[in-house]
Chains A and B, each alone.
Chain A
């Protein structure tokens, strides 16, 4: 009550502001907050556009790797037979060699990191390497493949999916494995970018709502 009397005393010609909106004081506050809000909005929008651009690049790379993998699989089928590479060869027991680690630097914005499961961890579950009672079959070591991304660390024969397709597999099948493993690593990056874009979108929507409220306050004031 006292404040409104003071306001009328200072500005006798001004109509009293409707109750609940705060009047000129809130309008001044809204005017002061608007540039900061606009700057935040601009920064978030720019970051969103950058993330979208990065996502497009990563997606193109991921898709290229997958297509490389299909081509290599087709070559393998040509060498081994059409029915020799397919669901009929899947192992009866499987343990994932690649897993994804998830961290949340900010709430609602997870980051994904695809990683190769430590073969030593598998050794802890199985017999030690030197004592594995395999039949006297030579274990192939992955050879350098210049046309493929760097090969994944050597997996124990029992866990390596290549063993589903026979003891001696063509080089094209190893290349296919390399391509799909590279695609998996990129999938983690793409997932992280997607979550960042979704998070940014949510933040922009929140700030836009705040901006609308501020603009409404300014209109009233």
Chain B
């Protein structure tokens, strides 16, 4: 696995997941665990949280792509995430454009430039 590299996981709406699977990141391993989750109207926040946590714990995943509006639903998990692998990338969705102010990396970097640091 180390020689072949790690997987890219995706949590998003139907278009986002279909697009990235079309690109070729989808994998169903021998345990039939997918590296993607299609979030629909009836997908609960608990399901999203469970899937996200599973992706974080899997050693074969290097990057997680997640629609930003879905990341907002589990922001509490993202804000407490401090590991560098897997990397988490927030991406826009069709109905919700990308907002840099909500991105957890940008928000953390902003704290470097507050007056109290000096």
Contact B87 A45 (CB under 8 A): no
Q: Indicate which residue in A114, A161, A177, A194 contacts B105 across the interface (CB closer than 8 Å).
A: A194
Q: Shortest CB–CB separation between residue B42 and chain A, in angstroms?
A: 14
Task: Please judge, given known A-B contacts A98-B8, A161-B26, A201-B112, whether A194 and B15 are in contact too, CB under 8 Å.
Answer: no
A86 to B63, CA, bound (A): 23
Task: Please judge, given known A-B contacts A94-B27, A99-B4, A99-B7, whether A110 and B109 are in contact too, CB under 8 Å.
Answer: no
A151 to B22, CA, bound (A): 13
Residues of A within 8 A of B62 (CB): 99-100, 102, 112, 191
A59 to B98, CA, bound (A): 9
Residues of A within 8 A of B78 (CB): none
Contact A117 B22 (CB under 8 A): no
Q: Indicate which residue in B19, B22, B26, B38 contacts A66 across the interface (CB closer than 8 Å).
A: B19
A181 to B5, CA, bound (A): 17
A176 to B19, CA, bound (A): 7
A92 to B22, CA, bound (A): 14
Residues of A within 8 A of B19 (CB): 66, 69-70, 73, 176, 179-180
Residues of A within 8 A of B65 (CB): 187
A188 within 8 A of B: yes
A78 to B8, CA, bound (A): 29
User: Could you tell me which B residues sit within 8 Å of A by CB distance?
Assistant: 4-8, 14-28, 34-35, 38, 62-63, 65, 84-85, 87, 89, 91-92, 94, 98, 100, 105-106, 108-109, 112, 117
Residues of B within 8 A of A173 (CB): 22
Contact B4 A86 (CB under 8 A): no
A207 to B85, CA, bound (A): 24
Contact B109 A87 (CB under 8 A): no
Number of residue pairs spanning A and B whose beta carbons lie under 8 angstroms apart: 151
Chain A interface size, as a band, is 35 or more
Q: Indicate which residue in A90, A96, A197 contacts B7 across the interface (CB closer than 8 Å).
A: A96
A123 within 8 A of B: no
Residues of A within 8 A of B4 (CB): 99, 117, 121
Contact A98 B24 (CB under 8 A): yes
Residues of B within 8 A of A48 (CB): 109, 112
A214 within 8 A of B: no
A204 to B114, CA, bound (A): 13
Q: Indicate which residue in A56, A66, A181 contacts B91 across the interface (CB closer than 8 Å).
A: A66
Chain A, 49-106, CB within 8 A of any chain B CB: 52, 55-56, 59, 62-63, 66-67, 69-70, 73, 85-87, 90-102
